[in-house]
Amino acid sequence: MLLTRQLDGELTSRRFHRGSSIKGPPLFGWRFDVFRPPHILIRRRPRRTLVAEYEFALAGLVKQGKAKQKQIEQVRREFVKHSKKWRHDTAFTSSVTDIILHPSYQRIVGLGTDVVPLILRQLEKAPEYWFWALEAITGENPVLESEKGRIRLMTKRWVDWGRVKHII
């Protein structure tokens, strides 16, 4: 039921039903007085000072840095796990095709450019057959045609390349 006031001041009752012509005010945007501003608080953001802008930017970089560090740590763990398995499984294999087609080797290649510094550091420690992976990941080959097949010389070329590119 709804109580409505008629012009003469009496209160009468009316019932709402689906076909009723009496409608209430809309839920949003209703104002009683057209000239009176709505009672909505507009919150303004305080102006950031230059120092606050730098702190905001630095906080974003720190977040990105932490996320990048986590990603690099995860790539490092994957590399260590797969390189150990690859070394173990191909220790007595002489076929280069079998060495580079090993699933762990392929998984390392699939890790992308984040793994290049790890491979180059591994090459610094001991020469291993990482040359195909490095070429596949980077798209470059610093080894000359006349030097191919000479593992120590190929290792030296790749390590020097990594130093020139500031990767290691």
Distance CA 95, CA 115 (A): 24
Q: What pLDDT score was predicted for residue 70?
A: 85
Residues contacting residue 74 through CB under 8 Å, at least 6 positions apart? none
Q: What pLDDT score was predicted for residue 39?
A: 54
Task: Give the distance between the most distant pair of CA atoms in the chain.
Answer: 111
Q: What pLDDT score was predicted for residue 48?
A: 62
pLDDT by 10s per residue, the chain, length 168: 444 444 455 545 544 444 445 555 555 555 554 555 555 555 556 666 666 666 766 677 667 767 778 888 999 999 999 999 999 999 998 898 999 999 999 999 999 999 999 999 999 999 999 999 999 999 999 999 999 989 999 999 999 999 999 988
Distance CA 124, CA 119 (A): 9
Residues contacting residue 12 through CB under 8 Å, at least 6 positions apart? 3, 4, 6
Which residue reads 């390392």 in tokens? 108
Q: What pLDDT score was predicted for residue 104?
A: 95
Per-residue three-class SS string for 114-167: HHHHHHHHHHHHCCCCCHHHHHHHHCCCCCCHHHCCCHHHHHHHHHHHHHHCCC
Q: What pLDDT score was predicted for residue 67?
A: 76
